[in-house]
Amino acid sequence: MADFSLFSRRFDVKRVPGFASVALGVFVMLYMPVILLVVYSFNKGTNLAFWEGFSLRWYVQAYHNEAVQEAAFRSLYLALIAATLATTAATMAALATTRTKKFRGQMLIYTLINQPLMVPEIVTAVALLIFFAMIKVATGHTGMIYLIVAHTAFCIPFAYLPIRARLESMDLTLETAAADLYASPWMTFRRVTLPLMWPGIVAGLMLAFVVSLDDVVITEFVKSAGQETLPTFMLGQLRRVVTPEVNAISTVLMAVSVIFVAMFFVLTGRKN
Protein backbone atom coordinates (compact mmCIF):
# COMPACT_ATOMS: atom_id res chain seq x y z
CA MET A 1 0.00 0.00 0.00
CA ALA A 2 1.32 3.44 -0.92
CA ASP A 3 2.35 5.75 1.87
CA PHE A 4 0.54 9.05 1.44
CA SER A 5 1.93 10.60 4.64
CA LEU A 6 4.50 12.59 2.70
CA PHE A 7 1.79 14.16 0.53
CA SER A 8 -0.24 15.11 3.59
CA ARG A 9 2.53 17.21 5.04
CA ARG A 10 2.17 20.91 4.56
CA PHE A 11 4.65 22.32 2.08
CA ASP A 12 7.20 24.66 3.65
CA VAL A 13 9.47 26.57 1.29
CA LYS A 14 12.04 27.00 4.07
CA ARG A 15 12.72 23.24 3.91
CA VAL A 16 13.70 23.38 0.23
CA PRO A 17 17.46 22.71 -0.12
CA GLY A 18 19.39 25.92 -0.76
CA PHE A 19 16.51 28.22 0.20
CA ALA A 20 18.48 29.96 2.97
CA SER A 21 21.47 30.57 0.69
CA VAL A 22 19.32 31.99 -2.12
CA ALA A 23 17.37 34.21 0.29
CA LEU A 24 20.59 35.50 1.84
CA GLY A 25 22.04 36.25 -1.60
CA VAL A 26 18.90 38.14 -2.64
CA PHE A 27 18.97 40.27 0.52
CA VAL A 28 22.66 41.02 0.06
CA MET A 29 22.12 42.13 -3.56
CA LEU A 30 19.14 44.28 -2.56
CA TYR A 31 20.52 46.01 0.50
CA MET A 32 24.30 46.05 0.14
CA PRO A 33 24.25 48.98 -2.36
CA VAL A 34 21.95 50.90 0.00
CA ILE A 35 24.21 50.20 2.97
CA LEU A 36 27.27 51.34 1.01
CA LEU A 37 25.45 54.52 -0.02
CA VAL A 38 24.66 55.35 3.61
CA VAL A 39 28.19 54.52 4.80
CA TYR A 40 29.92 56.59 2.12
CA SER A 41 27.65 59.55 2.77
CA PHE A 42 29.78 59.99 5.90
CA ASN A 43 33.04 59.75 3.95
CA LYS A 44 35.40 62.65 4.62
CA GLY A 45 36.94 62.70 1.14
CA THR A 46 35.49 63.22 -2.32
CA ASN A 47 36.39 59.77 -3.62
CA LEU A 48 33.40 57.46 -3.79
CA ALA A 49 35.50 54.29 -3.85
CA PHE A 50 37.88 54.80 -0.92
CA TRP A 51 37.10 55.49 2.72
CA GLU A 52 39.03 58.53 3.99
CA GLY A 53 37.51 58.96 7.44
CA PHE A 54 34.22 59.80 9.15
CA SER A 55 32.75 63.27 8.61
CA LEU A 56 29.43 65.09 8.42
CA ARG A 57 30.91 67.42 5.80
CA TRP A 58 28.54 66.46 2.99
CA TYR A 59 25.43 66.73 5.13
CA VAL A 60 26.45 70.24 6.18
CA GLN A 61 27.26 71.16 2.60
CA ALA A 62 23.92 69.83 1.35
CA TYR A 63 22.10 71.68 4.14
CA HIS A 64 23.66 75.01 3.13
CA ASN A 65 23.20 74.39 -0.60
CA GLU A 66 20.49 76.81 -1.76
CA ALA A 67 19.64 74.67 -4.79
CA VAL A 68 19.08 71.65 -2.52
CA GLN A 69 16.96 73.71 -0.13
CA GLU A 70 14.79 75.02 -2.97
CA ALA A 71 14.35 71.55 -4.50
CA ALA A 72 13.59 69.99 -1.10
CA PHE A 73 10.97 72.63 -0.30
CA ARG A 74 9.36 72.19 -3.71
CA SER A 75 9.30 68.39 -3.27
CA LEU A 76 7.65 68.63 0.15
CA TYR A 77 5.16 71.22 -1.08
CA LEU A 78 4.26 69.15 -4.14
CA ALA A 79 4.03 65.87 -2.21
CA LEU A 80 1.84 67.36 0.51
CA ILE A 81 -0.67 68.92 -1.90
CA ALA A 82 -0.74 65.92 -4.25
CA ALA A 83 -1.12 63.44 -1.39
CA THR A 84 -3.94 65.48 0.17
CA LEU A 85 -5.86 65.76 -3.10
CA ALA A 86 -5.22 62.11 -3.99
CA THR A 87 -6.36 60.91 -0.55
CA THR A 88 -9.53 63.01 -0.75
CA ALA A 89 -10.40 61.58 -4.16
CA ALA A 90 -9.44 58.06 -3.06
CA THR A 91 -11.67 58.31 0.02
CA MET A 92 -14.67 59.31 -2.07
CA ALA A 93 -13.91 56.56 -4.58
CA ALA A 94 -13.55 53.94 -1.84
CA LEU A 95 -16.88 54.95 -0.30
CA ALA A 96 -18.56 54.85 -3.71
CA THR A 97 -17.27 51.35 -4.45
CA THR A 98 -17.80 49.75 -1.02
CA ARG A 99 -20.82 51.46 0.55
CA THR A 100 -23.20 50.97 -2.36
CA LYS A 101 -24.97 47.99 -3.83
CA LYS A 102 -23.12 46.16 -6.57
CA PHE A 103 -23.83 47.76 -9.91
CA ARG A 104 -22.94 47.10 -13.50
CA GLY A 105 -19.47 48.38 -14.38
CA GLN A 106 -18.18 48.37 -10.80
CA MET A 107 -15.19 46.20 -11.74
CA LEU A 108 -14.42 48.54 -14.64
CA ILE A 109 -14.33 51.51 -12.25
CA TYR A 110 -12.04 49.59 -9.91
CA THR A 111 -9.72 48.82 -12.84
CA LEU A 112 -9.66 52.43 -14.02
CA ILE A 113 -8.80 53.70 -10.53
CA ASN A 114 -5.86 51.29 -10.32
CA GLN A 115 -4.72 51.91 -13.90
CA PRO A 116 -1.52 53.79 -12.89
CA LEU A 117 -0.39 50.66 -11.03
CA MET A 118 -0.78 48.42 -14.07
CA VAL A 119 0.57 50.68 -16.82
CA PRO A 120 4.36 51.27 -16.91
CA GLU A 121 5.21 54.61 -15.37
CA ILE A 122 7.11 55.73 -18.48
CA VAL A 123 3.93 55.28 -20.55
CA THR A 124 1.95 57.41 -18.09
CA ALA A 125 4.70 60.04 -18.13
CA VAL A 126 4.75 60.26 -21.93
CA ALA A 127 0.95 60.46 -22.09
CA LEU A 128 0.92 63.27 -19.50
CA LEU A 129 3.71 65.07 -21.35
CA ILE A 130 1.73 65.09 -24.61
CA PHE A 131 -1.53 66.07 -22.89
CA PHE A 132 -0.02 68.90 -20.86
CA ALA A 133 2.03 70.13 -23.84
CA MET A 134 -1.20 70.71 -25.74
CA ILE A 135 -2.62 72.66 -22.80
CA LYS A 136 0.59 74.71 -22.41
CA VAL A 137 0.54 75.65 -26.08
CA ALA A 138 -3.12 76.66 -25.90
CA THR A 139 -2.90 78.61 -22.62
CA GLY A 140 0.76 79.62 -22.34
CA HIS A 141 0.71 78.69 -18.64
CA THR A 142 3.68 76.70 -17.29
CA GLY A 143 3.10 76.73 -13.53
CA MET A 144 3.25 74.01 -10.89
CA ILE A 145 -0.36 73.02 -11.51
CA TYR A 146 0.72 70.41 -14.08
CA LEU A 147 3.01 68.65 -11.61
CA ILE A 148 0.29 68.75 -8.96
CA VAL A 149 -2.30 67.23 -11.29
CA ALA A 150 0.15 64.58 -12.55
CA HIS A 151 1.25 63.54 -9.06
CA THR A 152 -2.32 63.54 -7.79
CA ALA A 153 -3.51 61.26 -10.59
CA PHE A 154 -0.56 58.91 -10.10
CA CYS A 155 -0.97 58.75 -6.29
CA ILE A 156 -4.73 58.06 -6.18
CA PRO A 157 -4.47 54.24 -6.41
CA PHE A 158 -1.78 54.16 -3.71
CA ALA A 159 -4.14 56.00 -1.35
CA TYR A 160 -7.21 54.11 -2.57
CA LEU A 161 -6.01 50.58 -1.77
CA PRO A 162 -5.48 50.96 2.02
CA ILE A 163 -8.66 53.03 2.39
CA ARG A 164 -10.73 50.46 0.48
CA ALA A 165 -9.15 47.64 2.50
CA ARG A 166 -10.06 49.45 5.72
CA LEU A 167 -13.67 49.94 4.62
CA GLU A 168 -14.04 46.32 3.56
CA SER A 169 -12.79 45.12 6.95
CA MET A 170 -15.21 47.34 8.89
CA ASP A 171 -18.35 45.87 10.40
CA LEU A 172 -21.52 47.45 9.01
CA THR A 173 -23.40 46.91 12.27
CA LEU A 174 -22.66 50.36 13.70
CA GLU A 175 -23.55 52.15 10.46
CA THR A 176 -26.78 50.15 10.21
CA ALA A 177 -27.61 50.93 13.83
CA ALA A 178 -27.05 54.65 13.21
CA ALA A 179 -29.42 54.54 10.24
CA ASP A 180 -32.01 52.69 12.34
CA LEU A 181 -31.77 55.50 14.90
CA TYR A 182 -32.75 58.00 12.17
CA ALA A 183 -29.27 59.42 11.65
CA SER A 184 -28.85 61.10 8.28
CA PRO A 185 -26.28 59.66 5.84
CA TRP A 186 -23.98 62.62 6.53
CA MET A 187 -24.32 62.21 10.31
CA THR A 188 -23.64 58.48 10.00
CA PHE A 189 -20.53 59.16 7.95
CA ARG A 190 -19.23 61.90 10.25
CA ARG A 191 -19.91 60.16 13.57
CA VAL A 192 -19.45 56.47 12.68
CA THR A 193 -17.79 55.74 9.33
CA LEU A 194 -15.11 58.44 9.32
CA PRO A 195 -13.70 57.71 12.82
CA LEU A 196 -13.50 54.00 11.97
CA MET A 197 -11.83 54.50 8.60
CA TRP A 198 -9.47 57.23 9.82
CA PRO A 199 -6.43 54.91 10.18
CA GLY A 200 -6.87 53.83 6.56
CA ILE A 201 -7.09 57.46 5.41
CA VAL A 202 -3.91 58.40 7.27
CA ALA A 203 -2.12 55.32 5.93
CA GLY A 204 -3.20 56.16 2.38
CA LEU A 205 -2.08 59.77 2.84
CA MET A 206 1.37 58.73 4.02
CA LEU A 207 1.80 56.19 1.22
CA ALA A 208 0.75 58.73 -1.41
CA PHE A 209 3.12 61.30 0.14
CA VAL A 210 6.09 58.93 -0.11
CA VAL A 211 5.26 57.95 -3.70
CA SER A 212 5.01 61.60 -4.74
CA LEU A 213 8.15 62.59 -2.83
CA ASP A 214 10.26 59.86 -4.48
CA ASP A 215 8.88 60.13 -8.02
CA VAL A 216 11.40 60.82 -10.78
CA VAL A 217 10.00 59.63 -14.12
CA ILE A 218 6.70 61.53 -14.22
CA THR A 219 8.27 64.64 -12.69
CA GLU A 220 11.12 64.62 -15.21
CA PHE A 221 8.69 64.49 -18.14
CA VAL A 222 6.09 66.97 -16.83
CA LYS A 223 8.13 69.67 -15.09
CA SER A 224 9.02 72.96 -16.73
CA ALA A 225 12.22 74.96 -16.37
CA GLY A 226 12.96 75.96 -12.78
CA GLN A 227 10.69 73.29 -11.27
CA GLU A 228 13.33 70.85 -10.02
CA THR A 229 12.29 68.53 -7.24
CA LEU A 230 14.82 66.81 -5.00
CA PRO A 231 14.88 63.52 -6.99
CA THR A 232 15.24 65.30 -10.35
CA PHE A 233 17.91 67.60 -8.87
CA MET A 234 19.88 64.55 -7.78
CA LEU A 235 19.47 63.01 -11.24
CA GLY A 236 20.88 66.17 -12.79
CA GLN A 237 23.82 66.12 -10.39
CA LEU A 238 24.60 62.52 -11.30
CA ARG A 239 24.73 63.48 -14.97
CA ARG A 240 27.34 66.16 -14.28
CA VAL A 241 29.52 65.07 -11.38
CA VAL A 242 29.06 62.52 -8.60
CA THR A 243 30.01 63.68 -5.10
CA PRO A 244 29.25 62.29 -1.63
CA GLU A 245 26.78 65.17 -1.31
CA VAL A 246 24.40 63.15 -3.47
CA ASN A 247 24.89 60.23 -1.08
CA ALA A 248 23.97 62.46 1.87
CA ILE A 249 20.81 63.74 0.13
CA SER A 250 19.86 60.19 -0.85
CA THR A 251 20.32 58.99 2.73
CA VAL A 252 18.06 61.71 4.13
CA LEU A 253 15.43 61.08 1.46
CA MET A 254 15.56 57.35 2.14
CA ALA A 255 15.24 57.92 5.89
CA VAL A 256 12.11 60.04 5.37
CA SER A 257 10.60 57.37 3.10
CA VAL A 258 11.41 54.56 5.56
CA ILE A 259 9.83 56.48 8.44
CA PHE A 260 6.60 57.08 6.51
CA VAL A 261 6.41 53.51 5.22
CA ALA A 262 7.01 52.17 8.74
CA MET A 263 4.21 54.37 10.06
CA PHE A 264 1.99 53.09 7.24
CA PHE A 265 2.55 49.47 8.27
CA VAL A 266 1.99 50.33 11.94
CA LEU A 267 -1.34 51.99 11.17
CA THR A 268 -2.55 49.23 8.84
CA GLY A 269 -1.32 46.41 11.05
CA ARG A 270 -2.48 47.66 14.44
CA LYS A 271 -6.15 46.86 13.81
CA ASN A 272 -5.30 43.45 12.35
What SS3 class is residue 11? coil
How far apart are alpha carbons 23 and 187 in whole angstroms? Answer: 51
Q: What is the pLDDT of residue 77?
A: 92
Q: What is the pLDDT of residue 150?
A: 92
Q: Which of 234, 232, 229, 223 lies closest to 128, judged by CA? A: 223
**Where does residue 39 fall: left (phi above 0), alpha (psi -120 to 50 degrees), or beta otherwise?**
alpha
Beta bridge partner(s), residue 43: 54
DSSP symbols for 72-127: HHHHHHHHHHHHHHHHHHHHHHHHHHHSS---TTHHHHHHHHTHHHHS-HHHHHHH
pLDDT in tens, the chain (272 residues): 445 454 446 767 677 777 778 888 888 888 888 888 888 888 887 777 778 888 888 888 888 888 888 988 999 999 999 999 999 999 998 888 887 777 777 777 877 888 888 888 889 899 999 999 999 888 888 888 999 999 999 999 999 998 988 888 887 777 778 777 777 778 888 888 888 888 889 889 988 998 998 889 999 999 888 888 988 888 887 777 777 888 888 888 888 888 877 877 776 665 54
- The DSSP output letter for 47 is -
Beta bridge partner(s), residue 54: 43
Q: What is the pLDDT of residue 1?
A: 47
Instruction: List the domains of the chain with CATH numbers.
Output: 65-271 (1.10.3720.10)
